[in-house]
Amino acid sequence: MLLRCFRLKKIHVRCIFVITVVAFSLLILPKLIREEPPDVKERYKRIDNSSGTFELTLREYERRIVPNLGENGEPSYLDGEDAKRGEEALKKFALNTVLSDRLPLNRTLRDPRNKKCKHFTYNPKLKASVVVIFYDELLSVVLRTVWSVLLQTPDHLLEEIILVDDASTDASLKGLLDYYVDTRLKDRRVRIVRLSSRLGLIRARLQGARRARGDVLIFLDAHCEATVGWIEPLLSRIEDDRTAVLVPIIDVIEATNLAYSTNGDTSFQVGGFSWSGHFTWIDIQDERDKNTLGPVKSPTMAGGLFAIERNFFWDIGSYDEQMDGWGGENLEMSFRIWQCGGRLETVPCSRVGHIFRDFHPYSFPDNKDTHGINTARLAHVWMDDYKRFFFMHQPGLENNPIVGDLTHRKQLRRKLRCKSFKWYLDNIYPEKFVPDENVQAYGQARSEFDMCLDDLQLADDNVGPLGLYQCHPFLAMSQYFAMSAKGELRKENFCAEVFNEKDVQLTECHGHRREQYWVLYRNGTVYNPSAGKCLSSDGVDMGKGVKVEDCKDSVYQRWKFDSVNET
Ligand code: LR7
Ligand code: MN
């Protein structure tokens, strides 16, 4: 019949019909049948109503991947139009999404560990549930996280990977992700949990933890890459001590070129905090810990990547379920672990990369300051009187009903018979500078004409002039200075330092006196021996930096602190 059709000079209507049917069955039908059986298709369709089939979309996706790009964690670059699109993506998502989509999802990374780590043998018996929560993350980044865990974790140590979708709006994280897991990963240990409404990262993690069956919970952000040997030292340490909560060294995956960069193979820092309630990095506290490559005591953790024995996680109070959105839960958990009988440690032979982004690519419902509110919650529950410093940064939150009910968390603290925040500071974080303890003087430092020393809103991680500003009628953090016992004129971790024998800058305290050393005299003179000069407000405009000048008997060279401790 078909042959006859072609032999005929004129095309018969019946022939057109036959050709159509044949073409349909040859070209289209097999695709439908072979590549996506109707039930599978239906299943994914229900979650994702994007057009086209997932198989085609995924192939398109895979076709764009450039083999070996970014291999070994090398930096990668795009050309021409792609490079431009990459730049734009970086501005919009704080991540070069175009580049990420080009990189193999299962790229291999160099072993970033200190060489000696290889010679340690660990034989843990515990199994881990890796919990990865995400909200509108880039699909390729999430998949790279999953791949890295599957590839770098020995089978007998991995119970499951639980992906918790915190009600993302991005369609590719729905059906396409499911389809990828079913048809490409084909690993039953990868489970996806879909939350029906956005719960924020704290409650999303709790949802993942509730479903976990492994002995140990390991939480990861959805833009991480695990490296060789990452899990063994974590599990093994927990096997020795179930109250140890562990963080790996968190290496930087660059948001611009996705390079896996290590900060040398030995030097690393541990977690601290600022009185404004933010996580900071601090140097390892005990010199002896620097070279052992064993677990290192850490006052706090960053929060996104940590391992904890599953039952211990629940025993010690999991998370504060009333914390919303983002922020604060990491300090809450850090204080709680130490105060209630656990330990927090950094494990240098375990390394995981994390993409550090300059801003949140996602928005928060109602634009609520969840970091502030969550931190107010933890301050009330865990910090005793020391919460005064946090509330000096956030006076509006001190007695604000928005902070919510704290009964359960206070009950928990009593039930677990947790130690005081003073105990924590004295024993776990003795380096932490407390602005009004063991100091020569503190509070506002007044000069003539109601002018005060002021940090001029210097950001937490910056260097800037030590300024002069009208004294506030109340003591605000920007004007809270202390003259430490060591003779530093300081604000938290920032010390007044003389530059060019004239200007005075606030820079990171180094503890070695020199240009950061000051002598406070009884009459209010603040003398800098290194410059041989005195702190002066003479001729300084409001909002500008103070200076040091030759010492003389001048009202501009006398500073009156709110409180002076006579010694
Ligand atoms: O509403 C949300 N729901 C979510 O599921 C908001 C976020 N998320 C997910 C998000 O997709 C991601 O996987 O939560 C995870 C963490 O969010 P990020 O990556 O935007 O946070 P971050 O890396 O900027 O912030 C750090 O501090 C947070 C405080 O709440 C969390 O503890 C993060 O896990 C934590 N990240 C790290 O510790 C990685 C190292 C960073 C440092 C220093
Ligand atoms: Mn993160």
DSSP string, 368-412: --HHHHHHHHHHHHH-GGGHHHHHHH-GGGTT-GGG---HHHHHH
549 lies in some domain: yes
What domain range includes position 527? 439-564
Concatenate the DSSP letters of all residues of 266-308 into one string: S---EEEE-TTS-EEEE--S-GGGTTT-S-EE-SB--SSSEEE
- How many Å lie between the centroid of ligand 1 and the Cα of residue 322? 17
- How many Å lie between the centroid of ligand 1 and the Cα of residue 327? 8
- Measuring CA to CA, how many Å separate 366 from each of 246, 325, 326, 370? 34, 11, 13, 10
Q: Which of 221, 253, 319 to mutate to test the pocket of ligand 1 (most atoms within 8 A of CB)?
A: 221
329 lies in some domain: no
d(Cα 93, Cα 102) in Å, to the nearest integer? 16
- How many Å lie between the centroid of ligand 2 and the Cα of residue 220? 8
Ligand 1 atom nearest to CA at 305: 38
pLDDT at res. 265? 57
pLDDT at res. 39? 54
Ligand closest in space to the Cα of 358:
1
Ligand 1 atom nearest to CA at 364: 1
- How many Å lie between the centroid of ligand 2 and the Cα of residue 221? 5
The tokens describing 281, both together, are 């990095």
pLDDT at res. 236? 98
559 lies in some domain: yes
423 lies in some domain: no
Contacts of 191 (CB under 8 A, 6+ apart): 160, 161, 162, 163, 211
pLDDT at res. 42? 55
Ligand 1 atom nearest to CA at 362: 6
d(Cα 188, Cα 195) in Å, to the nearest integer? 20
Q: Angle at CA 290, nearest 5°, toward 306 and 122? A: 55
159 lies in some domain: no
pLDDT in tens, 491-515: 999 999 999 989 999 999 999 999 9
List the residue whose alpha carbon is closest to atom 1 of ligand 1: 200
339 lies in some domain: no
Ligand 1 atom nearest to CA at 202: 30
pLDDT in tens, 100-126: 999 999 999 999 999 999 999 999 999
- Measuring CA to CA, how many Å separate 253 from each of 75, 109, 263? 9, 11, 11
- How many Å lie between the centroid of ligand 2 and the Cα of residue 26? 48
The tokens describing 148, both together, are 């890295």
List the residue whose alpha carbon is closest to atom 20 of ligand 1: 360
User: Which residue ranges have their beta carbon within 6 Å of ligand 1?
Assistant: 133-135, 137, 166, 198, 200-201, 204, 221-222, 250, 279, 302-305, 325-327, 329-330, 354, 360
Read off the pTM: 0.89
Ligand closest in space to the Cα of 197:
1
Three-state SS letters, 507-525 = EECCCCCHHHCCEECCCCC
pLDDT at res. 13? 60
319 lies in some domain: no
- How many Å lie between the centroid of ligand 2 and the Cα of residue 278? 15
For residue 541, give the 3-state DSSP assignment.
coil
470 lies in some domain: yes
Q: Which of 166, 326, 330, 334 to mutate to test the pocket of ligand 1 (most atoms within 8 A of CB)?
A: 326
The residue to which tokens 């042959």 are assigned: 3
Task: Select from 277, 478, 274, 273 the least CA-distant residue to 372.
Answer: 277
- How many Å lie between the centroid of ligand 1 and the Cα of residue 332? 15
Ligand 1 atom nearest to CA at 132: 13
Three-state SS letters, 215-268 = CEEEEECCCEEECCCCCHHHHHHHHHCCCEEEEEEEEEECCCCCCEECCCCCCC
Ligand closest in space to the Cα of 169:
1
List the residue whose alpha carbon is closest to atom 39 of ligand 1: 304
524: domain CATH number is: 2.80.10.50
- Residue 270 forms beta bridges with which residues? 282
d(Cα 203, Cα 339) in Å, to the nearest integer? 23
**ipTM of this predicted structure:** 0.99
The residue to which tokens 């609520």 are assigned: 368
List the residue whose alpha carbon is closest to atom 10 of ligand 1: 134
What percent of the residues of the chain are helix, what percent strand, and what percent coil, each to the nearest 5?
35, 20, 40
- How many Å lie between the centroid of ligand 2 and the Cα of residue 120? 30
d(Cα 326, Cα 370) in Å, to the nearest integer? 6
Domain tally, the chain: 1
- Measuring CA to CA, how many Å separate 176 from each of 89, 100, 142, 148, 188? 21, 17, 12, 19, 17
- How many Å lie between the centroid of ligand 1 and the Cα of residue 326? 7
- Measuring CA to CA, how many Å separate 58 from each of 97, 175, 287, 358? 16, 11, 51, 29
Q: Which residues of the chain have a pLDDT value below 70?
A: 1-52, 264-266, 460-461, 567
Ligand closest in space to the Cα of 93:
1
- Measuring CA to CA, how many Å separate 431 from each of 300, 348, 400, 420? 13, 22, 31, 17
